[in-house]
Structure 1
Amino acid sequence: MKSYHLFIIYGLLFTCLIGLAVIWKSSDGSVLQETEETLIPMSLPTLPADSVRIFEIPKELSFAGEKVPLEIQDVYERLEREIYVNAYWQSNMVLLMKRSGKYLNEISQILQENGIPDDFKYLAIAESALMNATSSAGAKGFWQFMEDTAKEYDLEISRDVDERYHWQKSTVAAAKYLNKAHQKFGNWTAVAASYNMGQSGLSRRQTEQLQEDYYDLLLNDETSRYIFRILAFKVIFENPKKYGFGLRKEDYYTNPVLKSITVSDDIKNLAEWAKQRGSSYKELKLYNPWLRDRDLNVKRGRSYEILLPE
């Protein structure tokens, strides 16, 4: 009986070994697949060698005419991180580029007219993605102004008007803010960082750490990434094909030809007013998002420019 049991056990072990041999890898790294005639190799699936692109990072870079010290390993890695994060978020980047066709040239012009370096247009992208966004803290518009700061820089905020949503006027206000910050810091990179964490916050860190240069400061995670996000937008926008974005000129969004109508009297019903001028309430709000109610009260001596498609 014992020998019979041993025979059964050895038979089972032999069967298991054969089964393992069938699925065991061959010497060339393939998997063996059994057929009626023989065992043939079955190749494992492999990813294409170029399935993940490795981007070339600029060897030299500046922000607002100020050198980015890419020879510092930490600085290089932080820039590389933001380039990869944004270049591989393709849907967001494509829509950003398309949307920029409606605004970026005019933002550039307004900044230039007010003595602000052109690179600050990428700060607006970092702040709002060129949308009239509202943050959890209550900051609004392309430049993410808080209410008190907006009023300080001559933007009207009332029941029916909020000029933080007027991207041309808010760009002028942002230019005033940036110029004032430059008087304080004397450095455009620090100005951009202070736009994110506040002027007093940046000054405090500079005093505590005995350092003036943004790249030598240990800051909170958001501000430590902030300049590099702006730089990543600059690098990708200025070299789109290099980072996989082959947009044609006709791919960019544009605004229709708009006519400006000066309004110096109250408008009791904006929908009726728009319809009388061959437009609609939807178009009125689309091209004048600073109009926040269904009517418009105009103070004595004040006037507004309302845009409608021709």
Structure 2
Amino acid sequence: MIRFFCLAVAVFFSGSVVAQQVKVPSRMEFAGIKLRIMDDAREEIQKDVDALTASPKYFEIKAERARTYFPIIERIFKEEKLPDDFKYLCLQESALIADAVSTSNAVGFWQFKDFSAVEVGMRVDKVVDERMNIVSASRGAARYLHNNNQHFDNWLHALQAYQMGAGGAMKALPPGQEGAKSMTVSKKTYWYVKKYLAHKIAFENSVSQPGQIQVSEYYNVGGKSLKEVANETGVTEEELADYNKWLKKGKIPTDKKYAVIIPKGNLNLDIVASSETPKEEVKEKKQIEYTFDEPGVFPKIDDEVEARAGKIVDINGLPGIIAGRSDRIPALAQKADIPLRKFLKYNDLGIDGILIPGQVYYMKSKRGKAKAYYHVAQPGETLWSISQKFGIKLKKLKTKNRIREDINIKAGRVLWLRYIRPASVAIEYKESEIIQPIVEKKEPEVIEQPVDKKAEIDEVPIETEAESDSSAAEVIEELPAKEEEEEVQQDDSTVNIAGEVIEEIDEEMEDVAVDANLIKKMHEVKLGETYYAISKIHDVAVLDLLDWNDLKISDKLSIGQKLVVYTTEEAQGPIVKTVEKQSENSYHTVKPGETLYQIARLYNVSVQEIMKWNEKEDFNIKEGERLKIEE
């Protein structure tokens, strides 16, 4: 009751301050640049300031959110050497709502699209969306703004480029203002810049004091659930989930350092402080580089690595540990510091398996496809040894080659590593690519994994949707495996020998982007085209475009480069989805996962207006709720 009273008093007094109209000055400073604001621009900015401060109640809600999150943003911007003034941009972009989503599918505090977020180092997938993590997203925003400023050496222009992209800003902005220390803001100044100045003017005198709710970062979280973190820190799981919407499901991954946001209160601050700089054991690593420049290139582990038993290495982009002559599976799993069950699963082993000296064993799940497209089997190789060397799951390797059981692979056989071999393509052998081993001295005995000695007639046809349609593409490319999901969910691929209905090949296929209804096309890159521009031309996702072509967002495009694109029909250009505002006093039914911010963007109204029309006291909405939308 006391806390509620204090908050009410704060709202009252803040409101009385805001009620005295905030005036737009004729001169102000932004990021070290002195700005002269012309009368025509002042009039426009004043209208925005008046709109932002019109409701003391809603103004205070935003200001309170800024008081909560600004300390974190300020610290990160200081570390990234970004001007502190940019913190007000977050109010403009999302009103500091973690799960805000725009009509163009920009998400989170700083309104990043998925490919832009990936480009500045954020993780965006089914498990984690760092766009909704104030720490990760703010650091990403700082890097994005720095990247823009490399083109302009002018923070005001970098601000404009945040909304329209560096390429668009370079076309729109006049040259000769690099490094400017004073500038003029007029009616011709880009609207986004003036909107930002309105937010800075409206809020800068109301967010300096500490917030009613303060938050801290907690880093000792890898491999833990929010429930476990809640128990450690003394807050409720529900409260923790509300501040950490970036974790979509499961436990917090261990692939990088994540910050869980903890609201202070009954929190043991000693626990939080101790997690700021976790002391992690540094394990010796040696990078093993495999080359995949041509189909059939066989990766080799050199003698130096084979001699380093028990050492941790990177192989195929995954961590692994090298087995020694005296190692046994339980002991090696313990050395790798992972549970025995996971060690066996990651390496397709049974508990009674025998380790091969010098062989690398994975400490994380292998992938559903390899980086190479094909491999020619060499003398003495088994399906298991090939799956280990290329970092592909044994079951996936067999599926791609239509093999039902472990069989003795004949030297020279071409194995498919990235796609499923079509039923119409016969098994191929390349005797000319067999490399006979050179024996210079007696080699240590190599113990192969036990196999069922079946003839090659054990191969069976595997139907896919693409192959049942004669007009479909020849092959189906799988999406990359999600390692965290695979740790929990077993691979349940099944094959029906009698030709009955086949279940899904694996859990990743539920998200497969290439199916029988899609048409494979080639796109030739033209001057000035970007991944984003190409995705809009064909109405596909940027991340799908990258996956189909085995590219990273950082890879540069070249004129004339051919890209594979799968579409439902010939796209004529960007497809823009629009929502017309409905008639007076229409209603919107809340769909699963929708937020007030999304709905406001949908109808081109403000969150405050929706709250006013529906007499709402907070931002909470429920699935199926009917919201009034006035004309």
Q: Deviations over 1:233-269 (max 9, x none)?
A: 22232334xxxxxx9957x332366754332x3x5xx
Match of 1:298, SS?
A: coil
Tell me if structure 2 keeps the 8 A contact 1:205–1:217.
no
Tell me if structure 2 keeps the 8 A contact 1:193–1:226.
yes
- C-alpha RMSD of the superposition: 3.0
Residue of structure 1 equivalent to 2:42: 76
Q: Deviations over 1:87-110 (max 9, x none)?
A: 224332111111112111221121
Identity %: 27
Among candidates 117, 120, 141, match of residue 83 of structure 2: 117
Match of 1:141, SS?
A: coil
Residue of structure 2 equivalent to 1:182: 149
- Amino acid in structure 2 at the alignment position of 1:261: N
Structure 1 gaps of 5+ residues are 1-51, 241-246
Structure-1 separation of matches of 2:216 and 2:76: 19
Match of 2:101, SS?
A: coil
Q: Classify 1:211/1:296 alpha carbon distance in 2 versus 1 (closer, same or farther; 3 Å).
A: same
Q: Classify 1:214/1:171 alpha carbon distance in 2 versus 1 (closer, same or farther; 3 Å).
A: farther
- Amino acid in structure 1 at the alignment position of 2:47: R
Structure-2 separation of matches of 1:206 and 1:193: 9
- Post-superposition shift, 1:305? 4.4
- Post-superposition shift, 1:54? 5.7
Residue of structure 1 equivalent to 2:567: none
Structure-2 separation of matches of 1:248 and 1:238: 7
Question: Comparing both structures, which one devotes a greater share of its residues to helix?
Answer: 1
Q: Classify 1:83/1:271 alpha carbon distance in 2 versus 1 (closer, same or farther; 3 Å).
A: closer
Match of 1:96, SS?
A: helix
- Post-superposition shift, 1:68? 2.1
Among candidates 225, 243, 248, match of residue 287 of structure 1: 243
Aligned residues: 239
- Post-superposition shift, 1:75? 2.1
- Amino acid in structure 1 at the alignment position of 2:212: Y
Structure 2 gaps of 5+ residues are 1-18, 178-182, 269-631
Matches within 5 A, 1:218-233: 218=188, 224-233=190-199
Structure-2 separation of matches of 1:276 and 1:239: 38
Residue of structure 1 equivalent to 2:251: 296
TM-score w.r.t. the length of structure 1 is: 0.67
Match of 1:253, SS?
A: coil
Q: Deviations over 1:102-123 (max 9, x none)?
A: 1112211211221111110011
- Amino acid in structure 1 at the alignment position of 2:110: W
| Structure number with higher relative contact order (C-alpha < 8 Å, ≥ 6 residues apart) | 1
Q: Deviations over 1:6-27 (max 9, x none)?
A: xxxxxxxxxxxxxxxxxxxxxx
Residue of structure 1 equivalent to 2:109: 142
Q: Classify 1:163/1:57 alpha carbon distance in 2 versus 1 (closer, same or farther; 3 Å).
A: closer
Structure-2 separation of matches of 1:53 and 1:297: 47
Among candidates 156, 160, 175, match of residue 193 of structure 1: 160
Tell me if structure 2 keeps the 8 A contact 1:163–1:290.
yes
Residue of structure 1 equivalent to 2:130: 163
Q: Residue 98 in 1 paired to residue 64 in 2?
A: yes
Residue of structure 2 equivalent to 1:63: 30
Q: Classify 1:202/1:272 alpha carbon distance in 2 versus 1 (closer, same or farther; 3 Å).
A: closer
Q: Classify 1:303/1:55 alpha carbon distance in 2 versus 1 (closer, same or farther; 3 Å).
A: closer
Residue of structure 2 equivalent to 1:236: 202
Structure-1 separation of matches of 2:208 and 2:83: 27
Q: Classify 1:157/1:54 alpha carbon distance in 2 versus 1 (closer, same or farther; 3 Å).
A: closer
Tell me if structure 2 keeps the 8 A contact 1:142–1:165.
yes
- Post-superposition shift, 1:138? 1.1
TM-score w.r.t. the length of structure 2 is: 0.35
Match of 2:65, SS?
A: helix
- Amino acid in structure 1 at the alignment position of 2:26: K
Tell me if structure 2 keeps the 8 A contact 1:78–1:225.
no
Among candidates 148, 151, 156, match of residue 118 of structure 2: 151
Structure-2 separation of matches of 1:148 and 1:217: 33
Match of 1:194, SS?
A: helix
Match of 1:62, SS?
A: strand
- Amino acid in structure 2 at the alignment position of 1:262: V
Structure-1 separation of matches of 2:231 and 2:21: 56
Residue of structure 2 equivalent to 1:86: 52
- Amino acid in structure 2 at the alignment position of 1:296: K
Match of 2:112, SS?
A: coil
Tell me if structure 1 keeps the 8 A contact 2:133–2:245.
yes
Tell me if structure 2 keeps the 8 A contact 1:69–1:75.
no
Tell me if structure 2 keeps the 8 A contact 1:61–1:67.
yes
Q: Classify 1:107/1:307 alpha carbon distance in 2 versus 1 (closer, same or farther; 3 Å).
A: closer
Among candidates 206, 210, 219, match of residue 173 of structure 2: 206
- Amino acid in structure 2 at the alignment position of 1:229: K
Among candidates 204, 213, 220, match of residue 261 of structure 1: 220
Structure-2 separation of matches of 1:81 and 1:160: 42
Tell me if structure 2 keeps the 8 A contact 1:274–1:280.
no
